[in-house]
Amino acid sequence: MEQELWLIAGLGNPGRQYEKTWHNCGYLVLEVLCQRYQIALNKIRFKGLTGQGTIAGRKVILLQPTTFMNLSGESVREAMAFYKIPPQRTLVIYDDLDLPAGQIRMRPGGGAGTHNGMRSIISQMGRQDFPRVRVGIGPLPANWELVSYVLSDIPQDQQQQMFEAFSQASDAVEKTLRDGIEAAMNQANQKRERHVPE
């Protein structure tokens, strides 16, 4: 029997000027996964960059939509349709302003919050029951507008913290593929609780 295929989509904006911005956390987590598993994003398909490989014994398609954030759903939907991958095996990685910077949370479904990329995906899918890894980038600093903040570069003094978060997010992807979403959620929540001061 052929092994079930997973789609792992990391959200961001294309272009050198956005490479190290808060809003590109999804792209940056995919880069960690590519390095760990020697997967190259070397094909232009589905309005994005794709690569195939194996993570935790599962066959995966990694996808970086290159549509700009607010049209990410078009890319994800096209890849899902081509490979006949259901929402339950479509894992989306994105930045979340509602979480403190550096925190990782997993959810099996839910709404989009303020995230335009997630709104696009939910709109294109017509449903919300797909797993996601949220990478915290909050809170919004005083006197910053939301768009200006998420499109700003991650400051030098927070880059190490965020690199560790990208590594933890990659761990969460691996745990999901190996042991399922519930086990991955438990692991991510335990790490989060250890970082919250009493």
Catalytic positions? 23
Buried b or exposed e, range 70-86, using 16+ CB within 10 angstroms: ebbbbbbbbbbeebebe
Which helix (H) or strand (E) is 170 found in, with range? helix 159-179
Strand-pair category, 90-100 with 5-10: parallel
d(CA 31, CA 26): 9
Measured on CA atoms in the order 180, 69, 48, 26, is the torsion positive or negative? negative
